[in-house]
């Protein structure tokens, strides 16, 4: 007898660290999803900025099927063609000379932080161990990355945290100047804070960080796990600013839904990651690499990247139109197709109340903290789906306002 899984099964069988919505999607195509009852949804959530080409995009399905019939996994005792092709594609398209492949964003950041510490020990000595990062930042859920992340709720309650980590205020260079010194090993920053509320870094701030790193022989690490691979309208957001980091991390959109991550670095830095210093059983897995390569090659084209910028304008216009009617937003911001709408004072902290209403209206969206409605749709979402999704969002907001 077969059992159809239901939402109660989650509470019975899954570790209780998540609180998923009640509906269970079973099928997706492009920017639409269908649940167990056959109800249709428009997807502005994109699996939290992961489904860069929507659901089951033919280019990714073909890459998956093709590689799936050839070779899946070898371990790092051997190398494989898709991993080499992916690394070359990333090096050819960015500042980087070397790539470390892994399976998630947290793992890419863990590698970046360990590399930075090792580089400092190799080149400057043990004393150069301070890592500066920012309040409200998010860098993953490993113990090192939650500690570097600037949201104490994720790192507290697990006993002693790793040392040598300092936090400054985002977009406030003065607060960094107070902490930086010759013992600074690295500054880790998201060019635009994602989980922290969709807050773009200013040009002066990010340039100031680059200059401070150069002055103090420290490394600049850009966490582009959320902003990377076309999300910002460029392959990586650093290209929008013309500011080059020493290390960059990528995941989420990189695999278009397949778990994969990458740490990119210059030769001068990467050479500290000598044999045995770090590793990952799945890192550079052939199946993951083949899908990621297909995603990168498809996304890093003028058509797709221009399309992201065009869709950004459409999202902004729709959100402004809704806001003129209901006045629920204080500010609409973001880059490319990573957009945030901050709630106005009257609706302070109520972004999360929109999500279940939106689901009832047939729309999936996200929040970034309690006060920001976030959207991270497919980079190729059709204009008709944007219009229909916005009509559904407007109905949800109308209900929020009516119930207030």
Ligand X SMILES: *Cc1c(COP(=O)(O)O)cnc(C)c1O
Q: Which stretch binds ligand X (CB under 6 A): 74-82, 85-93, 223-231, 240-248?
A: 223-231
CB of 205 to ligand X, least distance (A): 16
Given a contact cutoff of 8 angstroms between Cβ atoms, the answer to whether 372 and 192 are in contact is: no
Binding residue (CB under 6 A) for ligand X from 138, 170, 298, 347: 138
Q: Is 251 in the site for ligand X (CB under 6 A)?
A: yes
Q: What is the rounded CA–CA span in Å between residue 252 and residue 45?
A: 12
CB of 2 to ligand X, least distance (A): 32
CB of 291 to ligand X, least distance (A): 15
Query: Residue 302: CB partners within 8 Å, gap ≥ 6?
Result: none
Say how far residue 46 (Cα) sits from the centre of its chain.
Answer: 11
Question: Which own/partner pairs from 354-360 qualify as long-range (CB within 8 Å, at least 24 positions apart)?
Answer: 354/393, 354/396, 354/397, 354/400, 355/21, 356/21, 357/396, 357/397, 357/399, 357/400, 358/392, 358/393, 358/396, 359/21, 359/23, 359/41, 360/396
CB of 280 to ligand X, least distance (A): 12
- Binders of ligand X in range 325-384 (CB under 6 A): none
Binding residue (CB under 6 A) for ligand X from 47, 194, 256, 389: 194
Q: Which stretch binds ligand X (CB under 6 A): 18-26, 64-72, 187-195, 359-367?
A: 187-195
Given a contact cutoff of 8 angstroms between Cβ atoms, the answer to whether 290 and 82 are in contact is: yes
- The verdict on whether 130 is a catalytic residue reads no
Q: Is 54 in the site for ligand X (CB under 6 A)?
A: no
Radius of gyration of the chain (CA): 21
Given a contact cutoff of 8 angstroms between Cβ atoms, the answer to whether 328 and 343 are in contact is: yes
Q: What is the rounded CA–CA span in Å between residue 336 and residue 250?
A: 17
Q: Is 223 in the site for ligand X (CB under 6 A)?
A: yes
Binding residue (CB under 6 A) for ligand X from 55, 128, 139, 231: 139
Q: Is 109 in the site for ligand X (CB under 6 A)?
A: yes
Closer of 109 and 371 to ligand X (Cβ) = 109
DSSP 381-398: --HHHHHHHHHHHHHHHH
Q: Is 105 in the site for ligand X (CB under 6 A)?
A: yes
Closer of 264 and 396 to ligand X (Cβ) = 264
Tell whether the torsion through CA atoms of 396, 29, 380 and 377 is positive or negative.
Answer: positive
Residue nearest to ligand X (CB): 105
Closer of 34 and 135 to ligand X (Cβ) = 135
Q: What is the rounded CA–CA span in Å between residue 3 and residue 365?
A: 30
Q: β-strand 192-193 against 247-250: which pairing, if any? A: unpaired
- The verdict on whether 252 is a catalytic residue reads yes
Closer of 30 and 191 to ligand X (Cβ) = 191
CB of 317 to ligand X, least distance (A): 26
- The verdict on whether 65 is a catalytic residue reads no
Which residues sit opposite 33 in a β-bridge? 28, 41
Which residues sit opposite 130 in a β-bridge? 184
Q: Is 104 in the site for ligand X (CB under 6 A)?
A: yes
CB of 102 to ligand X, least distance (A): 9
Q: What is the rounded CA–CA span in Å between residue 109 and residue 142?
A: 9
If we measure between CA atoms, which residue out of 314, 236, 195 comes closest to residue 322? 314
Q: Is 195 in the site for ligand X (CB under 6 A)?
A: yes
Say which of 44, 100, 138, 144 is annotated catalytic: 138
Q: Which stretch binds ligand X (CB under 6 A): 77-85, 86-94, 137-145, 280-288?
A: 137-145
Q: Is 231 in the site for ligand X (CB under 6 A)?
A: no
For ligand X, the binding residues (CB under 6 A) are 104-106, 109, 138-140, 190, 194-195, 223, 225-226, 251-252
Catalytically active residues, by annotation: 138, 223, 252
């Amino acid at each position: 007898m077969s059992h159809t899984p239901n939402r109660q099964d989650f509470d019975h069988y899954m570790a209780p660290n998540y609180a998923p919505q009640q509906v269970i999607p079973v099928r997706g195509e492009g920017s639409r999803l269908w649940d167990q009852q056959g109800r249709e949804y428009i997807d502005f959530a994109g699996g939290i900025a992961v489904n860069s080409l929507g659901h089951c995009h033919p280019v990714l399905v073909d890459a998956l099927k093709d590689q799936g019939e050839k070779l899946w996994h070898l371990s790092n005792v051997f190398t494989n063609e898709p991993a080499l092709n992916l690394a070359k594609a990333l090096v050819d398209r960015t500042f980087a000379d070397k790539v470390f492949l892994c399976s998630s964003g947290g793992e890419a950041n863990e590698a970046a932080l360990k590399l930075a510490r090792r580089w400092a020990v190799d080149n400057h000595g043990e004393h150069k161990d301070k890592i500066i990062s920012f309040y409200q930042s998010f860098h993953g859920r490993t113990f090192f990355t939650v500690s570097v992340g600037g949201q104490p709720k994720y790192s507290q309650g697990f006993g002693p945290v790793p040392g040598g980590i300092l936090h400054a205020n985002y977009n406030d260079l003065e607060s960094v100047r107070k902490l930086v010194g010759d013992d600074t090993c690295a500054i880790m920053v998201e060019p635009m804070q994602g989980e922290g509320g969709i807050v773009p870094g200013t040009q002066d701030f990010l340039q100031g960080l680059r200059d401070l790193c150069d002055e103090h022989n420290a490394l600049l690490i850009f966490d582009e796990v959320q902003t990377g691979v076309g999300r910002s309208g460029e392959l990586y957001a650093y290209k929008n600013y013309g500011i080059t980091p020493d290390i960059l991390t990528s995941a989420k959109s990189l695999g278009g839904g397949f778990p994969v991550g990458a740490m990119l670095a210059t030769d001068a830095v990467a050479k500290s990651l000598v044999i045995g210093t770090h590793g990952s059983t799945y890192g550079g897995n052939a199946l993951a690499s083949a899908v990621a390569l297909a995603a990168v090659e498809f996304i890093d084209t003028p058509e797709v990247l221009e399309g992201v910028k065009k869709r950004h304008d459409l999202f902004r216009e729709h959100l402004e139109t809704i806001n003129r009617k209901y006045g629920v937003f204080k500010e609409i911001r973001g880059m490319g197709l990573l957009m945030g709408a901050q709630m106005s004072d009257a609706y302070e902290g109520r972004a999360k109340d929109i999500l279940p209403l939106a689901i009832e209206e047939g729309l999936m969206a996200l929040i970034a903290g309690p006060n920001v409605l976030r959207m991270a749709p497919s980079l190729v979402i059709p204009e008709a789906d944007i219009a229909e999704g916005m009509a559904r969002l407007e109905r949800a907001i109308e209900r929020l306002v009516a119930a207030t």
